[in-house]
Amino acid sequence: MDRSSLTALLGETWFGGRLGAGTRARLAALGQVVDIPEGAVVVQEGMPCLALGVVISGRIALRLALPGGQDRTILTVDAGDVYGWSAVLPPAISTSTGIAVTPSRAILFDGNDLRSALAIDCELAAAVYQRLLETVVRRLTATRMQLLDLYRPASDPW
């Protein structure tokens, strides 16, 4: 995909839609579009997080492993949203395992390249960190609500 097409694709996502045109273009220059087959692991909990992904289509399930091998999906990432935010934050270790539960497509940003760009391009850094912070806040808020277990049965005290 050429650079302008990728920039336009990024602009159609929640993550990239509100970035300034120049910022978006500079960010797009760092990205590449990848197709992710169903079942592919895109990030692995506890392992280095190599790339930030912006989902174009499909669905990535973020899972935590429980002892005994019982994984739990704690969040899904759909079109427009991001996975692998750990890639921009040293030590860049994944906090969950991301698995494509449907065939998916994403724009991938190599973690090393992105960190280097953010270190020298303040405007880009301000825009990207703002978006990532919004993402993390949204997930924190959601996690708090999930923690409340609002729909639990009456027989199951909190």
Partner 1 sequence: MVMPAPVYLPRAELGRLFGALAADGRTVVGPTVADGAVIYDRLESPGDLPHGWTAETAPGRYRLDATSGARAFDYGIAVTAWKRFTHPSLVPLTRARRDGELVTVAPVHEPPPRLAFVGVRACELAALRIQERAMRAGPAGDPDHVARRDAALVVAVECARAMSTCFCTSMAAGPEVTDGADLILSELDEGFVVRVGSAPGGAVVEPLALRPATQAETERAAAQVAGVRAAIGDPVPAEGLPERLRAALDHPRWAEVAERCLACANCTLVCPTCFCTSVAVASDLDGVEATTERQWDSCFSLGFGRVAGDANFRPKVADRYRQWLTHKFSTWWDQFGSSGCVGCGRCIAWCPVGIDVREELTAIAPMTAPAGPIPWPLSPETGRAPAALATLDPARHVVATVRSTEPETADTVTLELVTSDEALLAARPGQFVMVELPAFAAPPISVSRIRADGLDLTIRAAGAATAALAGLGAGSQVALRGPLGRAWPVDAARGRDVVIVAGGIGLAPLRPVIESVLADRARFGAVRLYLGARTPRDRLFVAEMNALAGRADLEVAEIVDRAGPEWLGRVGIVTQLFDQATWDGSRVTAFVCGPERMMQAAAATLARLGVDPAATWLTLERNMACGVGTCGHCQLGPFFVCRDGPVFSVLELGSAFGREGL
Our finding on whether 29 is near partner 1 (CB under 8 A) is no
**Distinct helix (H) and strand (E) counts, the chain:** 5, 8
Which candidate, 120, 146, 132, places its Cα nearest to that of 86? Answer: 132
Of 47, 126, 136, 142, the one binding partner 1 by CB under 8 A = 142
Our finding on whether 135 is near partner 1 (CB under 8 A) is no
Phi-psi region of 149 (alpha: psi -120 to 50; beta: other; left: phi over 0): left
Query: How far from chain centre, in Å, is Cα 103?
Result: 16
Kindly state the smallest distance separating residue 2's Cβ from partner 1, in Å.
26
- Nearer Cβ to partner 1 (25/103): 103
Site size toward partner 1 (CB under 8 A) is 31
Site for partner 1 in 38-97 (CB under 8 A): 59, 61, 63, 70-76, 78, 80-81
- Nearer Cβ to partner 1 (99/127): 99
Longest dimension (CA), the chain: 57
Residues 137 and 155: their CA atoms lie apart, in Å, by: 32
Location of structure tokens 């079942």: 39
Q: Which residues bind partner 1 (CB under 8 A)?
A: 14, 59, 61, 63, 70-76, 78, 80-81, 99, 101-102, 138, 141-142, 145-146, 148-155, 157
